[in-house]
Amino acid sequence: MSKKVFDQMDDTKNKEVDDSNKEVDDSDKEVDDSNKEVDDSDKEVDDSNKEVDDSNKEVDDSNKEVDDSNKDVDDSNREVETEGMDNKTRTDILAEMTSKLSSLKYTDRNDIVQTYNKWAETGYEQVFSSDVFNAPKRTAEVLEELYPFEIDKKGAKILDVGAGTGLCGIELRKLGFKNIDGLEPSKNMIAEAMEKDVYDRYIIEMISDVKLGIQDNFYDVVTACSCARHFPDGFPEIARIVRPGGHIVILSNLDDQEDKEMETMIQKLEDQGLWKVVRMEIVEEFFSVTNQRGILILLEVLTDGNGNYPEKEILTNRTKVLRKYSVCT
């Protein structure tokens, strides 16, 4: 009897264990189902995030296309603005401004600056576009003759005097020159150059007989493209800031009467031994619209900033030294 009772008790206990195990299995199944739901939910979130990322990428690509399109439109508009000015309009604007400038002496500096400020607002760049104004390109070509190798162009320190809107600086950049500062007294003109990021440093001053805030012998080359007539009294100051053996490149309107005063001053300073004239040449189509010719004058500075004459070996053109190393390497 007692054995039978114990057997029944064992059967009951085993059933309870089986039921308990079943409950555990069912619970584990619920956990697995729950985890599966979480995984499915995470997958849905990942898929959703991927769709958002793809959508954002499409938006970014679309925005980039719009930006590129706007840039093309801006460039196209700039070309149309420049090319859209006919030669008669160019001639009329040029005649008005040159008439005003011709009535001024180089000592009328404030009036000269105001005239260029006005000119910058009334189509200066359209008048002097590169297809009709050859002076900046020719000036840059002379510097390339002085510094033909890449290492020379990287090392040469250049000051573009009368920088204006940066026309000459742009041509120098095209040829690979790296260190170019711009000096221009007209704030409206130099603002155009700043907008195009032409120069490394912008000096808003007028060249005259007053000393500039530039140290002696600082530059290798100074360019003066279509502006030297405004500062013949400032030529000694330009020579001061150019190293001995360095150069000054002047390109000016051959037919301008006030340029004769500039040429007189150049000759006077050559007689004094401040510099020597290396080359003078006529430039055809200085401004093709009016068939103006230009005169190019290349000067080599002979003295330091204090009027002293260095020894011959010190005068050796640094370009030749750099060229020697560039050929060997």
Q: What's this model's pTM, rounded to 2 decimal places?
A: 0.68
How many H-runs (helices) and E-runs (strands) does the chain carry? 11, 7
Contact indicator for 311, 283 with CB cutoff of 8 Å: no
CA distance 211 to 202: 17
Contacts of 76 (CB under 8 A, 6+ apart): none
User: How does pLDDT run along the chain (329 residues), one tens digit per residue?
Assistant: 544 544 555 555 555 556 656 665 665 566 566 666 656 666 665 666 666 566 566 656 655 554 555 444 444 444 434 445 677 777 777 777 777 777 788 888 999 999 999 988 888 888 888 778 889 999 999 999 999 999 999 999 999 999 999 999 999 999 999 999 999 999 999 999 999 999 999 999 999 999 999 999 999 999 999 999 899 999 999 999 999 999 999 998 887 655 678 888 999 999 999 999 999 999 887 877 778 888 999 999 998 656 666 654 444 444 443 433 333 32
